[in-house]
């Protein structure tokens, strides 16, 4: 009960301190945010451009690499191809760059991708092939797969004679783009819109492009449907499709930045809140949050270490014999299970103090307790670190000796037996001393499909024989 009360007090104190820390850190964070509400946040447009470059141009480069891979061109130009080999190639591209990879071959009437989709080019599933192959140019971007929209980067492939033989390339899940740009939207309050040459929104930070594709034209969102764009056109008289970055301000104070993405023939619009609404809110909040998080982690680690320490003490107390400070029967069972997992053979020794009842009856239980403690020390001092010795009950002890033969165990216990027989045990109530002895039963078995009960039963038979033969001896079970 005393240990339990101490454990409860530790938890209560740490919990109280943690709660107070949370309240204090939250108050300081809110105070700083309010005091700095009118400060403007530093520009985030430049790193955003870098993000666009990495996320948009990377799949373009991968698609171009596939279209000019001489190995691929030579292979697909053959009259007969192995689909498994082709699938292996695009799966390797997919896993290397974390993109969906595909190939469509005109002469083989075949389309396959790294998601396991396969179709004939003459089927409805390959509608895109016939639509794009008649368009001018060698590289295209297209939103396909109406059920799970992806942005496809299609590249024409030509054989060595310059003849068109199909398409290859990669595709990125629109959800991936959305999640990347949503980070900027959440952090800075920006809204991002990617618009193709027909002024149709293909990607955006608020996911309005989720259902857009040529398959569902009725659900497409056009740039001139958005209020901020209508205000932009009204203020400037026209929708200037420039090839350089420009900035506009609408009547409502929105700051509109435009950046061309020439590789896709797209434009990116960044819609920023009015300057009066921008602040260092996130910068301050994050810095204070990190401080709060750091402090919380410290207290959490203190709490965790304290709980683990108290838990280990609790376990140690529950698995330790109070009198001898040796592991008790519960711990012996646990250690046996551990040894059974990492060893093939085990030798178990049962030890029993000879005529221990006479010691208690003659000298008293306090002297008997002294005998148990002294013998426990002798048993512990003689064994290796990998060995286990514990109190099995009463005046019985058990030893677990992994990877030890019965003959080796016999040598060990004989040394222990002789040492104990030579000890002059003190009588606490007088100045006298007395001698006592101990008997051992040794059992060696393979650990395969054995339980500790079978070992104990075996060692107990050997111990019984040692007792029957006159005590103060060690016997190996045969």
State residue 80's pLDDT score. 87
- Assess whether 118 and 180 both reside in one domain: no
Q: Provide the Cα torsion 402, 405, 408, 412; round to 10°.
A: 40
Domain span at residue 293 reads: 2-37+281-318
- Assess whether 150 and 265 both reside in one domain: no
State residue 246's pLDDT score. 52
In a domain? residue 75: yes
In a domain? residue 20: yes
In a domain? residue 108: yes
Among 465, 468, 474, 470, CA closest to 440: 474
Among 91, 129, 128, CA closest to 108: 129
State residue 56's pLDDT score. 74
- Assess whether 266 and 297 both reside in one domain: no
- Assess whether 298 and 336 both reside in one domain: no
Coil, helix or strand for 85?
helix
- Assess whether 95 and 114 both reside in one domain: yes
In a domain? residue 323: no
CATH number of the domain enclosing 162: 3.30.450.20
In a domain? residue 42: no
Q: What CA–CA distance (Å, rounded) separates 51 from 185? A: 13
- Assess whether 189 and 257 both reside in one domain: yes
In a domain? residue 189: yes
Tally of domains in the chain = 4
- Assess whether 146 and 231 both reside in one domain: no
- Assess whether 266 and 314 both reside in one domain: no
- Assess whether 384 and 333 both reside in one domain: yes
- Assess whether 243 and 180 both reside in one domain: yes
* pTM for this entry: 0.43
State residue 47's pLDDT score. 67
- Assess whether 70 and 115 both reside in one domain: yes
In a domain? residue 433: yes
State residue 5's pLDDT score. 56
Q: What CA–CA distance (Å, rounded) separates 11 from 305? A: 11
State residue 6's pLDDT score. 57
State residue 222's pLDDT score. 81
- Assess whether 108 and 30 both reside in one domain: no
- Given a cut of 70, the residues of the chain with pLDDT beneath it are 1-11, 14-15, 18, 21-22, 25-49, 53, 145-147, 181-189, 205-220, 235-253, 273-285, 288, 310-311, 314-316, 478
Q: How wide is the angle at C-alpha 291 spanned by C-alphas 287 and 296, nearest 5°?
A: 140
């Amino acid at each position: 009960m005393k240990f339990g009360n101490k454990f409860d007090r530790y938890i209560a104190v740490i919990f109280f301190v943690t709660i107070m820390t949370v309240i204090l850190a939250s108050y300081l964070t809110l105070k700083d945010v309010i005091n700095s509400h009118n400060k403007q946040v530093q520009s985030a447009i430049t790193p955003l451009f870098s993000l666009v470059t990495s996320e948009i141009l990377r799949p373009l480069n991968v698609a171009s690499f596939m279209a000019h891979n001489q190995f691929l061109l030579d292979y697909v130009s053959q009259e007969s191809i192995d689909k498994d080999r082709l699938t292996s190639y695009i799966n390797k591209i997919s896993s290397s760059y974390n993109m969906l990879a595909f190939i469509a071959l005109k002469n083989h009437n075949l389309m396959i991708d790294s998601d396991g989709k396969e179709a004939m080019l003459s089927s409805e599933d390959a509608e895109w092939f016939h639509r794009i192959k008649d368009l001018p140019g060698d590289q295209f971007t297209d939103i396909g797969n109406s059920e799970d929209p992806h942005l496809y980067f299609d590249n024409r492939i030509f054989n060595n004679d310059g003849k068109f033989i199909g398409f290859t390339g990669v595709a990125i899940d629109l959800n991936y783009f959305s999640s990347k740009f949503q980070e900027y939207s959440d952090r800075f309050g920006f809204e991002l819109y990617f618009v193709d040459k027909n002024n149709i929104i293909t990607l955006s930070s608020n996911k309005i492009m989720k259902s857009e594709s040529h398959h569902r034209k009725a659900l497409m969102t056009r740039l001139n449907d958005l209020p901020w764009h209508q205000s932009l056109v009204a203020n400037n008289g026209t929708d200037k499709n420039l090839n350089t970055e420009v900035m506009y301000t609408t009547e409502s104070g929105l700051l509109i930045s435009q950046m061309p993405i020439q590789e896709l023939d797209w434009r990116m619009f960044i819609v920023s809140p009015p300057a009066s609404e921008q602040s260092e809110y996130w910068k301050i909040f994050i810095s204070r949050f990190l401080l709060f998080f750091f402090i919380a982690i410290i207290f959490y680690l203190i709490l965790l270490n304290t709980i683990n320490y108290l838990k280990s003490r609790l376990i140690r107390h529950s698995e330790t014999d109070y009198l001898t400070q040796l592991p008790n029967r519960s711990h012996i069972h646990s250690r046996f299970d551990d040894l059974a997992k990492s060893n093939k053979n085990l030798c178990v020794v049962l030890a029993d103090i000879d005529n221990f009842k006479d010691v208690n009856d003659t000298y008293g239980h306090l002297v008997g307790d002294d005998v148990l403690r002294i013998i426990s020390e002798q048993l512990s001092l003689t064994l290796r670190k990998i060995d286990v010795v514990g109190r099995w009950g009463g005046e019985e002890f058990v030893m677990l000796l992994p990877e030890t033969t019965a003959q080796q165990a016999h040598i060990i216990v004989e040394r222990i037996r002789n040492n104990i027989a030579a000890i002059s045990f003190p009588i606490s109530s007088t100045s006298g001393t007395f001698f006592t002895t101990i008997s051992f039963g040794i059992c060696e078995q393979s650990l395969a499909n054995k339980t500790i009960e079978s070992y104990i039963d075996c060692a107990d038979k050997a111990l019984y024989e040692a007792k029957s033969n006159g005590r103060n001896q060690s016997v190996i079970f045969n």
